[in-house]
């Protein structure tokens, strides 16, 4: 990954997310307690933000930007669609933004201190 200003912010965000990602076992699988997905834009289909996070059942969508940069109009539309559906978003362009992410993750973790991971995955869907 090239060391562009935005990629430096992405690396900081990944570091914060990794702080909260613990190894657990669900059935035969070794997984993390924090799911993070960094979609690679391909030019086909709907776009998303830079990172999709799930932590204790809560979804967070993160857009990373170079310092002082703002989301594009298309990214603003995606953010509005996510917020309109009840999702949470963050635009992070600095260490201060990473600090806010860390605070949110700590709050979520504290509120779910008694959460227990199921021993086997719930496959969902029709039986």
Average pLDDT, the chain: 90
pLDDT band at 47 (very low <50, low <70, confident <90, very high): confident
The pTM assigned to this predicted structure is 0.86
Asked if residue 127 has pLDDT above 70, the reply is: no
Is residue 51 one of the residues assigned to a domain? Answer: yes
Distant-in-sequence, close-in-space partners of 119: CB < 8 Å, separation ≥ 6: 26, 27
**For residues 59, 120, 113 and 52, what is the CA-based torsion angle, rounded to 10 degrees?**
-20
Does any domain span residue 9? yes
Cα separations in angstroms, 31 against 1, 21, 109, 112, 114: 25, 9, 17, 18, 19
Domain assignment of residue 126, yes or no: no
Q: How would residue 114 be classed by pLDDT, with cut points 50, 70 and 90? A: confident
CA distances from 36 to 10, 13, 21, 57, 68 (A): 12, 11, 9, 12, 24
Is residue 46 situated within a structural domain?
yes
> What CATH number corresponds to the domain at position 35?
3.40.1350.10
Domain count, the chain: 1
Q: Residues of the chain with pLDDT > 90: what percent?
A: 74
pLDDT at site 80: 97
Q: What pLDDT does 27 receive?
A: 86
Give the total residue count for the chain: 127
| Residue 120 within any structural domain of the chain | no
For residue 119, being part of any structural domain is answered with: no
Q: Does a structural domain hold residue 53?
A: yes
Residues 53-60 have a mean pLDDT of: 94
Round to the nearest angstrom and report the end-to-end CA distance of the chain: 43
Q: What is the mean pLDDT of residues 14-35?
A: 93
Angle made by CA atoms 64, 69, 75, in degrees to the nearest 5: 60
Report if residue 87 sits inside a domain: yes
Tell me the residue range of the domain where 51 lies: 5-21+28-111
């Amino acid at each position: 990954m090239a060391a562009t200003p935005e990629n430096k912010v992405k690396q900081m965000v990944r570091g914060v997310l990794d702080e909260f990602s613990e190894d657990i076992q669900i059935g035969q699988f070794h997984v993390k307690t924090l799911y993070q997905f960094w979609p690679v834009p391909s030019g086909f289909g709907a776009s998303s933000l830079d990172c999709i996070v799930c932590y204790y059942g809560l979804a967070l969508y993160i857009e990373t930007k170079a310092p002082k940069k703002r989301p594009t109009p298309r990214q603003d539309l995606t953010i509005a669609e996510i917020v309109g559906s009840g999702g949470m978003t963050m635009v992070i362009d600095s260490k201060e933004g990473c600090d806010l992410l860390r605070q949110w993750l700590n709050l979520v973790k504290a509120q779910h201190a008694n959460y227990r991971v199921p021993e086997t995955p719930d496959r969902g869907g029709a039986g």
